[in-house]
Amino acid sequence: MQITRSSIDTQKGPGDWFTGDVYIDAVATPAGTSTFASALVHFTPGARTAWHTHPHGQTIFVTEGVGLCQREGGPIEVIRPGDRVFFEPDENHWHGATPTRFMAHLALQQNDDTGSPVTWGVHVTDEQYAAAPSLDH
């Protein structure tokens, strides 16, 4: 058994990657021969990722709040605590909080041969984000 004490400060998500205020806590980083990485990501209301892809796909597991996610060409989906979303390798997508709720998720992905877990694209526009379904259900 190995216990790693928390020693890494919460990081503010960079503006190149996110719209709004997003905070990231490292959970697991690649070590030795492992390419696995994980982070706990907190989104404030209205905050979201830019469009992006992952070379080996990505799983997000919603831990609190209410969020939104979309793959390119698909509908915007509402996600809630306990929901698990898998984005296929190289599937262009985004995810984040709803306009009125916080959302946190655990993100799990693998680095590629160059050590990169993600390729960032353009920001989700306000118009794209506003197309989200009503949360009245």
CATH number for the domain that contains residue 86? 2.60.120.10
Which pLDDT does position 136 carry in this prediction?
53
Please indicate, yes or no, if residue 137 is contained in any of the structural domains.
no
pLDDT at 137 over 50: no
Please indicate, yes or no, if residue 5 is contained in any of the structural domains.
no
Please indicate, yes or no, if residue 135 is contained in any of the structural domains.
no
Expressed as residue numbers, the domain containing 68 is 11-130
How far is residue 66's CA from residue 44's CA, in Å, rounded to a whole number? 10
Burial of 94 (0-12, 13-18, 19+ CB in 10 A): buried
In 3D, which of 83, 80, 107 has the Cα closest to residue 94?
Answer: 107
Distance set, CA 98 to CA 8, 29, 60, 130 (Å): 28, 28, 16, 10
- 18-22, 46-50, 92-96, 111-115: least confidently modelled range: 111-115
pTM of the model: 0.91
How far is residue 11's CA from residue 45's CA, in Å, rounded to a whole number? 18
Task: Calculate what percentage of the chain has a pLDDT beyond 70.
Answer: 98
